[in-house]
A = this chain, B = another copy of it.
Amino acid sequence: MTRADLTERILEAKRRQDLSFGEIASRIGRDRVWLTAALLGQHPLDREAARAVLELLGLGSADEEALLTEVPTRGSGVQAVPTDPTLYRLYEVLGVYGPALKALIHEEFGDGIMSAIAFNLALERREDPDGDRVRITLDGKFLPYKW
């Protein structure tokens, strides 16, 4: 059993239990975006969360629990340029606005990066008379280049 096999198993159990990621996150008391990413194979879960999730999903062998708490190889199995339209729009934003964001980060903070490790992400629905909007907030620590 690889982590990819386990992800598939989790998705099947979630479908069978008819649970949303939001519901799983609120039941075990973790952040929704973080937990979704973790269950999709991008973060390790601590032992307590692993147990709670597996139990909720009706899974839970020792192997599954151990595997779920291991640091995964992130980003494997994701397309370099995503074909799915929902994912592609995020990639497109990077192409159109990436160089502008780089220029402005340097104007605002100097030479460095927005950390993707000391980092969190939120997704919100914002009501709007012209059609509701998706608001995604990336929030990362600025790390200055430091020799």
Using a CB–CB cutoff of 8 Å, the interface residues on chain A facing chain B are: 1-2, 8, 12, 15-16, 18, 20-22, 31-34, 36-37, 40, 42-44, 62-63, 66-67, 70-71, 73-76, 78-109, 111-121, 123, 125-126, 128, 130-147
Contact = CB atoms under 8 A, between A and B. Distances in A.
- The winner among A43, A85, A123 for most chain B CB atoms within 10 A is A85
Given A67-B15, A92-B85, A112 B117 contact: yes
B89 A94 contact: no
9 contacts: A31-B147, A36-B104, A75-B84, A82-B98, A89-B114, A93-B121, A109-B134, A115-B143, A134-B140
A106 B93 contact: no
Nearest first, the 6 A-B pairs at minimum CB distance are A75-B83, A114-B134, A75-B95, A36-B100, A37-B100, A89-B116
A111 B118 CA distance: 12
B83 A101 contact: no
- Which secondary structure dominates chain A's binding surface? mixed
Given A43-B145, A112-B117, A139-B135, A99 B87 contact: yes
Contacts of A140: 89, 133-134
A43 B100 CA distance: 11
Given A36-B104, A91-B94, 17 more contacts: A21-B104, A22-B104, A36-B100, A43-B111, A74-B95, A85-B92, A87-B94, A88-B92, A93-B116, A101-B121, A109-B132, A112-B117, A117-B145, A118-B143, A125-B142, A134-B139, A135-B139
